[in-house]
Structures are given as structure tokens and as C-alpha cells.
Copies of this chain bind each other. A is one copy, B any other.
């Protein structure tokens, strides 16, 4: 049904082929243009989303129209506003495509039944949630303790490929610094090397 996703499940889980088929068969495929939104502030998040190709971002916009990025979701990543999805309340964030992307969507009803019917799939989902918790705690610690330059360096170390894919202003919006500061950091690093 969705061969890329089925391969992903084969390599990342020990699900039986029939269960892989079942999960895959309930997904709806969408193609997104650059800058296309799949969730806007005020809407309710109704799907779990898997990224087959491309890149999405979750972000919020301040009163002064500056953007703040909570998450990048590249190929083989998952994304959703979990609070809006869980409680079915209006979302405070946006999710949109940075690159032309292909995604799979499951409705909450479908995904919930998959989780309860397939315990191994549930535990795989729990693993992904756990990884997110670990990652976000580390990110918070970095925000608390590291300088903008250290944050940038750790970002580059952690996501080497993103540097070529993302506009710098989005990296700045993820690190919580101004584009000016990021430019300065990169400038001084160039001089040093």
C-alpha cells in the first residue's frame, strides 16, 4: 500500500507482516507543496502524521509575527500537536511543509484502534514518545545552560544534514536566537577556520 512506510516498519519494529499491512492500509497519503499547512492555530489536530519524504515543521507565531519552531519532522519522522490531538481542543501551533513533502495520515479513531489491537505497535509508539521526552529534556537543558553559539554547534552536531536543507532563519527560530546573532556566529566561525 505504502511501500516506503512498510519498509520503515519492517526495519524499526518486529511487527508481523499482516500487522504491518493493517497499519499501512489505514493510512491516507497526501502530497504537500512548500509552505502548505496541515494544521493551523485554532484548528483541532485530527491526525497522526508520518513523513515519507520532505520536511515539516511545528511552530507558533507571536504577536509581532515572529515564528518559533518547536519541531522539525523530516522523512521517517512523526508529527502532530499531541495536546490538541489527545483532548480534541484547538491547537496553539501550526504545522506546515518546509519542502514539498509526502505524508501519511491516520485518523484518531483508526490509530487508537490500531494501538489497542496490536500491542507491539503500541509499544513501538511508546518508544517514540519516550525518545521525544528524552530529546526535549535535553533541548531544555541546552536552552537553560548553553550560549547561542553552543546551541548552534550542538544543533549542527546533532542534525548535520539540516544545515543544507533549512533556511538559517528557521534554525534561528528553533534555537531561540535572532537571525542576526546566528549570522554573527557563523561569521566568526568562518574566520576561525
A145 contacts B86, C-beta separation under 8 Å: no
| Cα separation A62 to B68 with both chains bound (whole Å) | 26
| Cα separation A92 to B142 with both chains bound (whole Å) | 13
Let me know if A107 is at the binding interface, CB within 8 A: no
B176 contacts A143, C-beta separation under 8 Å: yes
Let me know if A159 is at the binding interface, CB within 8 A: no
Across the interface, name the chain B residue whose C-beta is closest to A177.
Answer: B144
* Chain B residues within an 8 Å CB radius of A141: 60, 68, 70, 92
CB distance from A9 to the nearest CB of B (A): 22
Let me know if A133 is at the binding interface, CB within 8 A: yes
> A interface, by DSSP: helix, strand, loop or mixed?
helix
Name which of A82, A145, A176 has the most chain B CB atoms within 10 A of its CB.
A145
* Chain B residues within an 8 Å CB radius of A83: 133-134, 137
Let me know if A29 is at the binding interface, CB within 8 A: no
* Chain B residues within an 8 Å CB radius of A143: 140, 143, 176
- Residues 67-98 of A at the B interface (beta carbon under 8 Å): 68-70, 82-83, 86, 92
B66 contacts A137, C-beta separation under 8 Å: no
* Chain B residues within an 8 Å CB radius of A66: 145
Specify which of B70, B86, B133 is in contact with A82 (CB 8 Å cutoff): B133
* Chain B residues within an 8 Å CB radius of A10: none
5 closest A-B pairs by CB: A68-B144, A144-B176, A83-B134, A68-B145, A143-B143
Question: 20 A-B residue contacts at CB 8 Å?
Answer: A62-B145, A68-B141, A69-B144, A70-B141, A82-B130, A82-B133, A83-B133, A83-B134, A83-B137, A92-B141, A129-B133, A132-B133, A133-B133, A136-B137, A136-B140, A140-B140, A140-B143, A143-B176, A144-B173, A144-B176
